[in-house]
Chain A
Amino acid sequence: NAGVTQTPKFRILKIGQSMTLQCTQDMNHNYMYWYRQDPGMGLKLIYYSVGAGITDKGEVPNGYNVSRSTTEDFPLRLELAAPSQTSVYFCASRAGGTGELFFGEGSRLTVL
């Protein structure tokens, strides 16, 4: 049972480069989320999706884009990477109703 899978686990980017963080889940969950975690700041919601074709902004969406073409996949794209985007990124999913969030293991991104 794979759950939520994120790739890559680690990545170093130069300022101005772009990249996509991949997230896939095999639990047939409708709801998917992207968070970033910074020391002392907890987790901040970047974007979320309530189903294929539907996405919405969270607390800190600037500099990011998402798409949800299938139930399983929810990639996060960083355009024109900046040092402020250095962080650990977590993807999560849940079933509807009161379902709990299931997290991936995280992707550590450094922008130099």
Chain B
Amino acid sequence: AQSVTQLDSQVPVFEEAPVELRCNYSSSVSVYLFWYVQYPNQGLQLLLKYLSGSTLVESINGFEAEFNKSQTSFHLRKPSVHISDTAEYFCAVRAGYGGATNKLIFGTGTLLAVQP
């Protein structure tokens, strides 16, 4: 079975500073990895995803994540955050094949709090 660990429940950071949100996963098979973002009182939206190929994936709003198979990690980074990036970020994993490929398993989330 797959699982996801987000060790940081909250990450405070000042505006224009860099940030890294950590995500580690566990799986016995190849995986697809995702980062979703949730703004207050809204549903989740896909931020970026790793399916195969290049291990560095980017979003349209400056976030990037790198798939590291040896460390089973998929950390999310942004070199300079804005107040509008304040939200909760969820890492998620889905098996690349087999019955479990139908299930997307989420981590517990990290609240990114950007301060002026």
Q: Compute how far the CA of A20 lies from the CA of B56 in the bound complex, rounded to whole angstroms.
A: 42
Are A33's CB and B104's CB within 8 A? yes
The residues of B that contact A4 with a CB separation of less than 8 Å are 43
Are B43's CB and A31's CB within 8 A? no
Are B109's CB and A42's CB within 8 A? yes
Known pairs A40-B9, A100-B49; A45 contacts B44 (CB<8 A)? no
> Is A75 an interface residue when CB atoms closer than 8 A count as contact?
no
Q: Compute how far the CA of A48 lies from the CA of B104 in the bound complex, rounded to whole angstroms.
A: 10
Interface band, chain B: 20 to 34
Q: Mark B28-60, 1 if CB is under 8 A from A, else 0.
A: 000010101000011111100101000000000
Q: Is the interface of A mostly helix, strand, loop or mixed?
A: strand
Contact among B34, B41, B51, B106 for A42, CB-based, below 8 A: B106
> What residue in chain A is nearest B34 (Cβ atoms)?
A100
- Which A-B residue pairs are the 7 nearest by beta carbons? A103-B43, A42-B108, A43-B106, A100-B46, A103-B44, A42-B106, A105-B43
Known pairs A40-B9, A40-B108, A42-B108; A104 contacts B43 (CB<8 A)? yes
Which residues does A use to contact B, with CB under 8 Å?
4, 31, 33, 35, 40-45, 48, 50, 56, 58-59, 90, 92, 98, 100-101, 103-106
30 contacts between A and B (CB under 8 A): A31-B102, A33-B104, A40-B9, A40-B108, A42-B6, A42-B90, A42-B106, A42-B107, A42-B108, A43-B90, A43-B106, A44-B106, A45-B103, A45-B105, A48-B102, A48-B103, A58-B103, A90-B44, A92-B44, A98-B32, A100-B46, A100-B49, A101-B36, A101-B44, A103-B45, A104-B43, A105-B41, A105-B42, A105-B43, A106-B41
